[in-house]
Amino acid sequence: MTFSTRLTAAVLCAVVATASVPAAAHSNRGELLDVVPVSTMDANQVAKYLGDYSLDASRVRFGVDARRIVYRTIDPQGRTTTASALVVLPRNNTRSPRQVAWLHGTTGYRGSVASVADGNDRAAALLFASAGYLTTAPDYLGLGTGPGHHPYVDAPSTVTASVDALRATRQLAGRSGLRPDPRVMITGHSQGGHATMAMGKALQHDRRFEVGALAPIGGPFKPSLLVSKALNDEISNGVAYMAYWTVAWNRLFHLYDDPAEVFKDPSVAALFDGDHRNEDIFRHLPATMRELLTDTYFERLRNPTGVLRAKLREADGYCDWRPRVPVQIYSSAGDKDTLLETSAYCDQRLKQHRATSTLIDLGPDVNHGKAAKLALPRILADFDRR
């Protein structure tokens, strides 16, 4: 079981200002650097694969070609780096395929993302591609084959890596004589649900792409609330979320000089280097927040000030805009990771900006991980109607 399915993120995303860098550092964003075949399946093989991951295969129509791409992008400081993504092309002879972006949930291990490993995220990408969509599943920075650490809490760099993955996908498609539809249907689960709204906002102002649809699933749309709940041990997997978030934010915003300032067991910080498998991470974490955090840092989170307070407020704001397309927000009363309450918050904020938004509660018996499996077929059907 991967971190994406056990933890599937109450991701506490933040905004970080991009450092001033030369224009040349941005001019080659999205440049396709490498392509590696991952798998080729006919429609029957895709249907079996989806069944193995408990996904509805009734809309499978085409075989697929899946490839891992490596491309240029930028890091949170605006410096040139590389990232990887899974691109799945439908074998349907359409010269101008419609596009889907699938944005994955939390993983602490770089090897569990869709371009590298079989799993729920690869299955989601194959689901859309087998229905005829050119599908891009970004690994994000520091995961897959990307260098460095994953900036887990940094929504802006998740967006730049994901948009640049779309640019690289377009180059790959061009090699086969394809001209993808500029509209991009965006969906994602958990961390990817929050990123769906952030990416949609960015693409609405991008001249190369258009937002075709927005369908986040179980996104942590109000991180400040989730931090408060996690401190009271009211969030499933809250210890893992908080540990990962704290380590990642320290890399971005320098919250501490020594892990012993925030963790009662300072060795926790080393678990989030991208090379520890998800099961190893869970094995070494304590059961409660009081066991995880020092009293000083616990109180600092209870009453955040300075950069903590500012970045949490910014992270709460990714539903504060007006999409030009209707938004379908999927969540469930049984989600104890990101909570139906935060999806309701997003729905309310969108409506306050006069957007068309619908909140879909998948039910009290549907947990965080199961929500994606139930929502994906409905999302695909909605995309087909657009």
How far apart CA 102 and CA 81 sit, in angstroms, is: 21
Cβ neighbour number for residue 56 with a 10 Å cutoff: 17
How far apart CA 70 and CA 356 sit, in angstroms, is: 36
What lies within 8 Å, CB to CB, of 264 at 6+ separation is 286, 291, 292, 293, 294
pTM exceeds 0.95, yes or no: no
| Rg (the chain; Cα; Å) | 19
- For the chain, the maximum distance between any two Cα atoms, rounded to a whole number of angstroms, is 61
Strands, E assignment, 51-110? 64-74, 80-90, 99-103
Which alpha helices (DSSP H) does the chain contain, by range? 3-6, 24-27, 43-52, 120-130, 155-175, 191-203, 223-231, 238-253, 278-283, 289-292, 295-302, 306-315, 340-352, 368-385
Handedness of CA 329, 333, 335, 340 (dihedral sign): positive
CB 83 within 8 A of CB 71: yes
How far apart CA 281 and CA 271 sit, in angstroms, is: 6
How far apart CA 179 and CA 250 sit, in angstroms, is: 42
- What does the chain come to in residues? 386
Domains delineated in the chain: 3-222+315-385 (3.40.50.1820)
How far apart CA 181 and CA 261 sit, in angstroms, is: 51
CB 261 within 8 A of CB 297: yes
How far apart CA 150 and CA 159 sit, in angstroms, is: 13
Q: Tokens 């940094």 identify what position?
A: 154
Residue 90 phi, psi (nearest 5): -75, 145
Question: What does the pLDDT read at residue 26?
Answer: 63
Q: How far is CA 163 from the centre of its chain?
A: 12
Q: Tokens 């009293």 identify what position?
A: 295
pLDDT in single tens digits along all 386 residues of the chain: 333 333 333 333 333 333 344 445 567 999 999 999 999 999 999 999 999 999 999 999 999 999 999 999 999 999 999 999 999 999 998 999 999 999 999 999 999 999 999 999 999 999 999 999 999 999 999 999 999 999 997 899 999 999 999 999 999 999 999 999 999 999 999 999 999 999 999 999 999 999 999 999 999 999 999 999 999 999 999 999 999 999 999 999 999 999 999 999 999 999 999 999 999 999 999 999 999 999 999 999 999 999 999 999 999 999 999 999 999 999 999 999 999 999 999 999 999 999 999 999 999 999 999 999 999 999 999 999 99
How far apart CA 2 and CA 18 sit, in angstroms, is: 32
What lies within 8 Å, CB to CB, of 44 at 6+ separation is none
Instruction: Name the residue type at position 66.
Output: A
